[in-house]
Structure 1
Amino acid sequence: MQLKNKTKPNLKVLLSTATCALLGTASQASTEESWEFDTAIMHYAEIDRVSATEAIIAGKKTFANDEVLNLKLTVDALTGASPNGATAQPTAQTFTRPSGNGQYVVNAGETPLDDTFHDTRVQLTGQWSQPLLSDYVVSVGGNFSKEYDYMSASINGNLARDFNQKNTTLSAGMSYAYDVIEPEGGLPTPFSSMVIGDSNESGFDEAFNHTRMGSDDSKTTLDLLFGVTQVINRNMIVQLNYSYSTASGYLTDPFKVVSAINASGVAEDYIYENRPDERTKHSFFGQTKYHFDTGILDASYRFMTDDWEIDSHTVDVMYRIPFDNGHYIEPHLRVYTQSAADFYQPFFSDDQIMPQYISSDYRIGDLDTYTVGIKYGLPVGNGNELAFRLEYYHQTPKNNGIEAVGVLNDVELYEQVDAIIAQVTYSF
């Protein structure tokens, strides 16, 4: 939401984009036949872990008959070290790289990180929206992204209907995505043991290949969204959404392992994880925007639950404070918490029965996060705008009730993550 003048904006137009954004669909925001562009550079950096740089250019063409074309190109470059799922140990650990080419050593007491993590992703999104009859707006679009070992393609559509002198809008949409993953080194067989060695060693290639079940696999995702947007008065608007998402196919992370430990907590083996091949999510989302005399409050809450037994809560609050010269500042706070998947285990004990599914990926474990930051924007002539955003992100993985044993009590099993997010945007 951008304030380029001192008048109160059309809050319904500003909020209507939120419903469509969940499915990648566009919204109607202008009747002038012109192009508008947004460009952004963002850098995300975790301390001693992953860093990412993202460049975005988005263009919107609005035609005289209220038809809208949206195009967006995104390029991401990621590098750094990513947790491989194994637990820290009081002694050094050696792992084979996911490709099978080479090894890496993790120092005693440190969370095992795979330092070969790097990738470049290119994503192209297109969307077409237009009025249909007197009170309907229809939107269709698609998305394609490609990185080194992953491809994703999707299509979507949305239909919105205005009521009550356009103060109430009902919307329904859907999207369908098809993804293919083809990691270097192939897909590991679930529960097979990581072969520690090097391709130069005799017999290593044969042993490594025995832990592979193929070179690639795929998954499909269907998303449905139903929403209502209601103008309360000239200062306030509210939106409520329900979304249903179902994914099936290869949902396992081929780069993650689980430490198999003995009664003393010492890792004796590393087994490849296995996740269910289906996942269904239900999400409930509410958002309100209120225009005070001194600024605009944008607050939202989302609850998500799925059949992996992950429940999450997200609260996101922004408050834009405009100044007479067209400048503005926008403080931002986001708080997120989630419960663990029913098959999440930080490690596997050799005295327990082998489960059907298991993953030690902290991203599906118990965790809390918060993001706090501020954005500063200023006009640069001819209706253009330059903005700077700086945020701090903190993540705290938590114990989901599994008791540490032996030497695991002497190491950090749930390492916290800190990151800095910096972004520059230019709209013209």
Structure 2
Amino acid sequence: MQLKRQKGETNIAAALTLASSSLLASGATYAAGNNLSFPENSADKATDWQLEAALMFYGEQDRVTTLEGVLLAKGEFDDSSGLDIKLVFDSLSGASATGAVVQQQSQTLTRPSGNGEYQIAAGEQVLDDSFDDKRLQLSAAWYKLLENNWQLAGGVYGSREYDYTSLGVNGALEHSFNKNNSTASLALAYGLDTIDAVGGRPLPLATMARRVDYDSETAFRQAFEASREGGSDHKQTLDLLLGFTQVLNRRWLLQGNYGFSLVKGYQTDPYKVLSLVDNLGVTQSYLYESRPDSRQKQSLFLLLKGALNRGVLDLSWRYTFDDWQLDSHTLESHFRHYFSDGFYGQLHLRYYRQSAASFYRPLLLQNEGSISGYSAEFASADHRLGELQAYTVGVKLGHKLGEGRELSYRLEYYQQQSENNGTLLPGELGNMQLFPRLRAVIAQLSYRF
């Protein structure tokens, strides 16, 4: 089962070079990207091959737990070219939100495969506790310094989950001028994803078949199959990134990026549903969600980074907007202080806020239309498409052990609060907690040798 790892909040690490690190960090899809943040390279250049290993734990309160391991090999063939090869393994398990609303009575839902069902107690959030997935990703990134202050970079990646396969290629070109105080960059990336949902892909806004509504197992299976589309589906993503970096003085630099992303194909989450409720707020049935098969996203990014007497400070702002009417603002800062030549501490602060997509609905009312209780083509109750705000507070400590070795560990706290986008909550739902707070802890251990 595919769990989206908050992609709207992607961190990019293991940059190819100092120049291209600002390029890759802007948000395009690159082979070097992942959800971890490795220690920065020391001033000492690696000889031949250098290895970095990291282990990250992500745990939500009463929900999903993730364990991720990363192994990165960085090779320098000469002073002008290098190759990064990275292996990532994720293990995810726990309870995942379905999109259905809380009720004052117990609820019974059919599992995505159709083989079994699960019950939710009265007053409890509707979570599917069968979520369990593994992901393996392999990527390679190459860079080459050319003449006249030009640099070329490229990469490939592939990842595989039980129901999701992702392949991609990327390339970047950048040029330094003005005595190397200015850098302009252009990057392109293409990704192809294949979705093979457990139990098949639900028809858009189809009603969930439940055994309790049928006299026999045969009748239930026929209804379940009738709500499904056979075979797999695909999604294509094309990213374009324009960047500019300017050295302001001997301590400060400013970076700006513009990104454009075009996504075509299957973008519905096959495991999310909506509750169809009456005027008393009582659920009558569950409908599978439906999302558009096209999305255009744009982003603006500004970063100010400075070298202090015994540390480094960066401040950044990102604004994203798309034709789903989902806009977001991100403010983020890192402050690293060197207590000694071999020991540093880093403070991380991040604030994120987004508006709701135009088709986001926390629930559907029976009188909203004539087809399955809803007249529009698209609808989703996925909180990741709703109005929300989140913040992250974290601390990282690092030890330089000599001979190019470094050990670091990071601990962060994440909190997310979903909000009502103005939807009327009928009857009993006005007294229920439909927008619970999500809390998570992130712990990471990294070692470079």
Q: Normalised by the size of structure 1, how large is the TM-score? A: 0.94
Matched ranges for 1:293-312 at <5 A: 293-312=309-328
The answer to which of 251-260 and 189-198 deviates more is: 189-198
Which of 349, 365, 387 matches 1:366?
387
The answer to which of 207-216 and 300-309 deviates more is: 207-216
Kept after mapping to 1: 8 A contact 2:241/2:260: yes
Which of 19, 22, 28 matches 2:23?
19
User: Which residue is equivalent to 1:7?
Assistant: none
User: Which residue is equivalent to 2:352?
Assistant: 336
Amino acid at match of 1:367: L
User: Which residue is equivalent to 1:34?
Assistant: 48
User: Which residue is equivalent to 2:409?
Assistant: 388
* Cα deviations by residue, 1:362-411 (Å, 9 ceiling, x for unpaired): 00000000000100111223231111100000000001011211010121
User: Which residue is equivalent to 1:351?
Assistant: 367
User: Which residue is equivalent to 1:324?
Assistant: 340
Which of 257, 271, 277 matches 2:293?
277
Kept after mapping to 2: 8 A contact 1:83/1:112: yes
Aligned equivalents of 1:259 and 1:421: distance in 2? 32
User: Which residue is equivalent to 1:121?
Assistant: 135
Kept after mapping to 2: 8 A contact 1:93/1:108: yes
Which of 197, 200, 206 matches 1:192?
206
Offset at residue 219 of structure 1 (A): 0.6
* Cα deviations by residue, 1:323-352 (Å, 9 ceiling, x for unpaired): 125111101111000000000000000001
Kept after mapping to 1: 8 A contact 2:32/2:139: no
Q: Which runs of 5+ in 2 are unaligned?
A: 1-16, 34-40, 370-374
The answer as to 2:441 corresponding to 1:420 is yes
Aligned equivalents of 1:176 and 1:412: distance in 2? 41
User: Which residue is equivalent to 1:215?
Assistant: 231
Amino acid at match of 2:77: F
Offset at residue 62 of structure 1 (A): 1.1
The answer as to 2:197 corresponding to 1:176 is no
Question: Residue 206 of structure 1: SS of its match in structure 2?
Answer: helix
Which of 427, 438, 441 matches 1:406?
427
Question: Residue 187 of structure 2: SS of its match in structure 1?
Answer: strand
Kept after mapping to 1: 8 A contact 2:31/2:168: no
Amino acid at match of 1:253: D
Kept after mapping to 1: 8 A contact 2:409/2:444: yes
Aligned equivalents of 1:117 and 1:32: distance in 2? 41
Aligned equivalents of 1:242 and 1:158: distance in 2? 14
Question: Residue 198 of structure 2: SS of its match in structure 1?
Answer: coil
Question: Residue 111 of structure 1: SS of its match in structure 2?
Answer: coil
Aligned equivalents of 1:244 and 1:87: distance in 2? 35
Question: Residue 19 of structure 1: SS of its match in structure 2?
Answer: helix
Aligned equivalents of 1:25 and 1:51: distance in 2? 24
Aligned equivalents of 1:37 and 1:427: distance in 2? 6
Aligned equivalents of 2:47 and 2:347: distance in 1? 33
Aligned equivalents of 1:375 and 1:94: distance in 2? 44
CA RMSD of aligned residues (A): 1.8
Offset at residue 31 of structure 1 (A): 6.3
Residue correspondences, number: 416
Aligned equivalents of 1:221 and 1:97: distance in 2? 30
Kept after mapping to 1: 8 A contact 2:355/2:386: yes
Aligned equivalents of 2:58 and 2:413: distance in 1? 10
Aligned equivalents of 2:353 and 2:191: distance in 1? 27
**Structure 1 pair 117/219, CA: closer, same or farther in 2 (3 Å)?**
same
* Cα deviations by residue, 1:113-158 (Å, 9 ceiling, x for unpaired): 0111110000111011102222210111111000000000000000
User: Which residue is equivalent to 2:13?
Assistant: none
Q: Which runs of 5+ in 1 are unaligned?
A: 1-12
Offset at residue 25 of structure 1 (A): 6.4
Amino acid at match of 1:387: S
The answer as to 2:142 corresponding to 1:138 is no
Offset at residue 26 of structure 1 (A): 6.8
Aligned equivalents of 1:53 and 1:83: distance in 2? 19
Offset at residue 33 of structure 1 (A): 4.4
The answer to which of 194-203 and 414-423 deviates more is: 194-203
